[in-house]
Structure 1
């Protein structure tokens, strides 16, 4: 079992520099450009599909692909470029999967992949590292490789820009300055990747420190979207919500992304457990239920609930670089709806946010040095219980529903 890491960036950004640094530390590096040539080699189904789509004019006399002829077509026409990607990308992914399977157990398998353009493609990897550099630096590098400046600009323009690329990336490396600057950013990644691989192989969660509050990070929603995409890649298109404090704009929080995966029942959570573990979200079997609250929502409209109605499954992160709480709760159960309602109350009520922040800050003073977060979580329960009536009144006033 290995973890897969994509290293992506625009042409001339210097992806190979970063992958070489990771290879020095022990990563198994797969070059997508080499795979791209391999899957359209002479006599391959990929080459036959290209000839059918683009005509025999892109086939050389010796039966190989005439790359300049094909490039002249696809770089001038976005529709043709998409058609080519539709042929080659599935073949490249399949070949990469085979190479991953052949890698030693516990490896960090790095794919140098320039054409990572969608959230679904990024979600197929355990982690995505982006490499960027200013456009003038990239053009200078490409001209140094023998490309005309106008062609370099055209090729850069044909790819997604760095702003769109960064939304797909968990880590961003600035490769626009000196090699020493790049090395200083890239090499510390190895500790994270090696730790991720070791945790993943063992099926365990990464160690966490005590509960330390940090200011609201505007990147938390984007991080949550990437993690949700990975959950979807693992278990299919089931509802996943970003909940907890990091889902409330402006609210200080522990740097932990809380997600809620909706399941039909806890038997489905058992089916999902190995799939999520393989995706980097191992199960923590000791956490099986939430604290019951005086909650006025369930599927039958009853006002009383049983403690068994608050059961759940709970997964965390193997990646030591990003803490995640993944709660698997049954659709329409009290704890499923309570989590959504509490988030929405905090989002809509400035006074609630202020009161909750004051509690969190006081609790951090008491439990900030704890080895885990259980003391911090337990200390908040009194506030949550005292807030139930207040939350219920707010929900009634706005006609809240879990959607």
Structure 2
């Protein structure tokens, strides 16, 4: 199943998005609803909250007075963290139960207001953020919800800001327009990304973008890599494997194919072929079939062998290279990246070569055979640069 994290600031309209996704067929797990369930009257969660904050957080019927509790915790970060330590583990446990009960081919949407604040983004295949201007959110909170403006401002300030949520977001859904516009955006996301992503994930199929085209440098490529790397680290934990951004998208200002190249360092190819391969596939990075060697070196030379995984996400193509620590292929991926970062002339020459290759042969699979001579010469220049500067992987 595909696990999607849905979040957004208070008053952003996240509930409208989750309702639309549910209508389209998603299994929606509402963290707020679960949070109420785990502190219901008679629950161990409510008893622990009363022990921490006294019975002043109870109403006349002995149920949790959420408004009273909110006034306490949103004005006091230490109190808020104490509350989260009580409720979050219980919410996570109940969420896991509900997800386990969903069909194997489900798109499971976890509606989590504090997804970013709790550091949960790497646990999902995709994170969707609903983003709305603060002025609009304040108007919704003080209007439809009848909240005091000062209280609304405090609650907004207590959550992650837009920049932090954007850094965690694979998809940003703006919600400053009409409900029809929001529904149209959700429908497109469902049709073009979530449904095919779930199918690819279930069938262990990677997206292979062809033919190759160059796009101008995207300043968000490093941020996109960071999200992918966090997912990979979560997938391979408790193993602490090195993850690096390599390839053209790792070089600032360089036009490239819009594919994020990532190098995952393994101790051996046997390790890459073991349970690690399935863990990566389950996280959205299925292995591509066949034996592979670095495209610039002869097949059969195990010093240049690798295992290549792709991405099941149709909205984010990835080349995930599993290479052995210290091998020539592993070392050269890091050396080429750092040499191109350091030398603008090499960068220009490489970009010119890429433009010529794409124009002559847009089939990405042929690039390796066409680039051998340039890479042989560049490899020598890069090694000279490494020796002069004392570069190490």
Contact 2:267 2:324 in 1 (8 A): yes
What runs of 5+ residues in structure 1 fail to find an aligned partner?
295-305
| Residue 293 (structure 1) shift | 5.6
What is the CA deviation profile of residues 55-100 of structure 1, one whole-angstrom value per residue up to 9, with x for unaligned ones?
Answer: 3333446443232232121011011111211222222122112111
- Give the 5 Å matches for 1:94-243: 94-118=93-117, 120-143=119-142, 144-190=144-190, 191-236=192-237, 237-243=240-246
Aligned-partner Cα distance in 1 for 2:151–2:45: 26
Aligned-partner Cα distance in 1 for 2:101–2:118: 26
Q: Which of these residues, 352, 372, 377, is aligned with residue 346 of structure 2?
A: 352
Look up the match of 2:88.
89
Aligned-partner Cα distance in 2 for 1:42–1:351: 69
Aligned-partner Cα distance in 1 for 2:304–2:182: 48
1:206 counterpart SS class: coil
2:165 counterpart SS class: helix
Contact 1:128 1:169 in 2 (8 A): yes
1:254 counterpart SS class: coil
Aligned-partner Cα distance in 1 for 2:208–2:53: 52
Distance 1:267 1:43, change over 3 A: farther
Contact 2:246 2:334 in 1 (8 A): yes
- Give the 5 Å matches for 1:365-380: 365-368=359-362, 370=363, 373-380=364-371
What runs of 5+ residues in structure 2 fail to find an aligned partner?
none
Aligned-partner Cα distance in 2 for 1:212–1:108: 31
Contact 1:260 1:327 in 2 (8 A): yes
Aligned-partner Cα distance in 1 for 2:119–2:370: 39
| Residue 289 (structure 1) shift | 2.1
| Residue 291 (structure 1) shift | 4.2
Contact 2:7 2:130 in 1 (8 A): yes
Aligned-partner Cα distance in 2 for 1:239–1:118: 25
1:312 counterpart SS class: strand
What is the CA deviation profile of residues 180-230 of structure 1, one whole-angstrom value per residue up to 9, with x for unaligned ones?
Answer: 322232221012000000011111112423111100000000000000000
Aligned-partner Cα distance in 1 for 2:233–2:52: 32
Look up the match of 1:385.
376
Distance 1:118 1:247, change over 3 A: farther
Distance 1:390 1:123, change over 3 A: same
Contact 1:12 1:141 in 2 (8 A): yes
| Residue 308 (structure 1) shift | 1.3
Look up the match of 2:305.
311
Distance 1:207 1:327, change over 3 A: closer
Q: Which moved more, 1:62-71 or 1:387-396?
A: 62-71
Q: CA RMSD in A?
A: 1.8
- Give the 5 Å matches for 1:66-77: 66-77=65-76
- TM-score w.r.t. the length of structure 2 is 0.94
Aligned-partner Cα distance in 2 for 1:218–1:232: 23
Distance 1:118 1:274, change over 3 A: farther
- Give the 5 Å matches for 1:269-288: 269=272, 270-288=274-292
| Residue 113 (structure 1) shift | 1.1
2:322 counterpart SS class: strand
| Residue 50 (structure 1) shift | 1.9
- TM-score w.r.t. the length of structure 1 is 0.92
Q: Which of these residues, 248, 261, 267, is aligned with residue 258 of structure 1?
A: 261
1:201 counterpart SS class: helix
Distance 1:93 1:275, change over 3 A: same
2:209 counterpart SS class: coil
Contact 2:306 2:323 in 1 (8 A): yes
